[in-house]
Amino acid sequence: MTFVEPYLLWGALAVMIPIIIHFWHQKKGKPLAWAATQWLVEKDQQQQRGLKLDNLLLLVLRCLLLVVLAFLLSQPVLTLKTKADHQAIHLIQPSALVTTNFRFELEEAAKRGEKLYWINEMAASVEKPGELPDKQTFTPLLLQSAIDKLRQENTELHLYVLNNEALATVPSIYVPSQYHVHALADSTRKPRAYLATKGNKRLFINQAGRLTSGEGPDPAIVFQSAAAHSGRLTVLLDYRTKREQQTVEAALKALSDVYDLDLVIDHNKIASTTYDWVLTDQEPAKPAGQTLYIVSGKSGYPVVPNVLYYPYSFTPQTDERVANGQLPEWLGEQLIQHYGLQASSLPLSQQELNALFVVSSRSDHKPQTVVHNAILLLFVVLLIAERWIALTKNA
């Protein structure tokens, strides 16, 4: 038997409370210098001192109540040994390089009847490893989300990912106790993504790792055949407070001036317009797949990669980043992430890779309804018995 919340078993030490109260009530009473006859009737109704069977039974019931309550709150789970105790789950980054390199391992896992899933928003099941899904976006947040969705009791997790610095954009990736990371260093030189801005300029990450706006091709960099986005960026500012809207608009104008971005900013939503960037303080009802959403003043786990949550409002009084003038830079970083302008990075060392994946201390056991209801019924029966004895015996 195991427990979902084992630390709550320490609550069973509370059995000392009724024991102490029991012995306290057994102390001998002191004689009172009072002879009024009106107190003689009450004397017969006073609790009898000394150790009696009914009081002892009441003490046992009260101790059992506390023990059962601690047991109930700790959520016990009956572990039944079966052949399917250790099940292997394979999470695969949707990349042709990954599926080609680990083709043998994936085919052997499929033959053994083990489950294969893509690392994407839905953690979709893999039908054929050679057929990639339509959406091939990969981020560490999507990896963590897929792990949390699929991990179960005694899961043996196999991760197939490209080894690069993009993995380290999160502090840690939490995994179950049994896991294996199959990391592949990407040594290919990929064409670099860019944005086509006004004046036939390109916005891209240069060799020094800085965002740069320039004209004409750069002989040191191989660009993709088509821009990640061309022309104007339509932006919607949808804030309920005028102060926050003015702050964000000023930051966008500063970003536009530095990098020659052609931004068209709307303050009221136009139904016929498909926006490239939406900055708001309200949860988007139906987020569009190609639009970048930044929701301020809300804390949340990003379910989809294009909806980002920021815990503070964009005002100097509420956010240190705004007060220090770093908001334009931060907004530019989100734009880079959204359009994939990051330059290909070096692989992580084995030590860095090992430090990135942290075994989660959370239990994968889920409380069992039948066991929970049985203990709850026992608790109710003990409580009724304790109250009945206490009221009938005036104890």
Domain residue extents for the chain: 2-28+47-79+366-392, 87-189+347-359, 195-339
**Residue 32: Cβ within 10 Å count:** 8
Note the pLDDT of residue 320: 93
Note the pLDDT of residue 33: 59
User: In angstroms, rounded to a whole number, what is the distance separating the alpha carbons of residues 289 and 337?
Assistant: 15
pTM of the model: 0.48
According to the CATH classification, is domain 195-339 in 3.90.470? no
| Residue 218 CB burial class (10 angstroms; 0-12, 13-18, ≥19) | middle
- For the chain, list the strands marked E by DSSP: 2-3, 76-77, 87-92, 115-118, 155-163, 173-175, 178-185, 195-197, 201-205, 211-215, 229-230, 233-238, 263-266, 277-280, 292-296, 307-310, 357-359
CA neighbours closer than 13 Å in the CB half-sphere of residue 43: 11
User: In angstroms, rounded to a whole number, what is the distance separating the alpha carbons of residues 111 and 104?
Assistant: 11
Which residue(s) pair with 175 in the sheet?
359
Note the pLDDT of residue 308: 92
User: In angstroms, rounded to a whole number, what is the distance separating the alpha carbons of residues 156 and 163?
Assistant: 21
pLDDT tens per residue, the chain (395 residues)?
Answer: 666 677 677 877 877 777 777 667 665 555 655 555 555 555 455 554 444 445 777 778 888 888 888 878 887 766 555 444 568 999 999 988 899 999 999 999 999 989 999 998 888 889 888 888 888 888 899 999 999 888 877 788 999 999 887 888 888 999 988 899 999 887 666 788 888 888 788 888 876 677 888 776 666 677 888 888 888 999 999 999 999 999 999 999 999 998 888 899 999 999 889 999 999 999 988 888 899 999 999 887 777 888 999 999 999 999 999 999 999 999 999 998 898 887 666 688 889 899 999 988 655 555 556 777 888 888 888 888 888 887 887 76
Note the pLDDT of residue 79: 59
Note the pLDDT of residue 76: 75
Task: Copy the structure tokens of residue 228.
Answer: 């990640």
Residues in the chain: 395
**Amino acid letter for position 275:** Y
**Amino acid letter for position 10:** W
State residue 343 phi and psi, 5-degree precision.
-75, 150
State residue 66 phi and psi, 5-degree precision.
-70, -40
In eight-state DSSP terms, residue 300 is -
Closest CA to 229 of 348, 346, 340: 340
Note the pLDDT of residue 210: 78
Task: Copy the structure tokens of residue 98.
Answer: 């990954």
Longest Cα–Cα distance in the chain: 112
For the chain, counts of helices (H) and of strands (E): 11, 17
Note the pLDDT of residue 25: 67
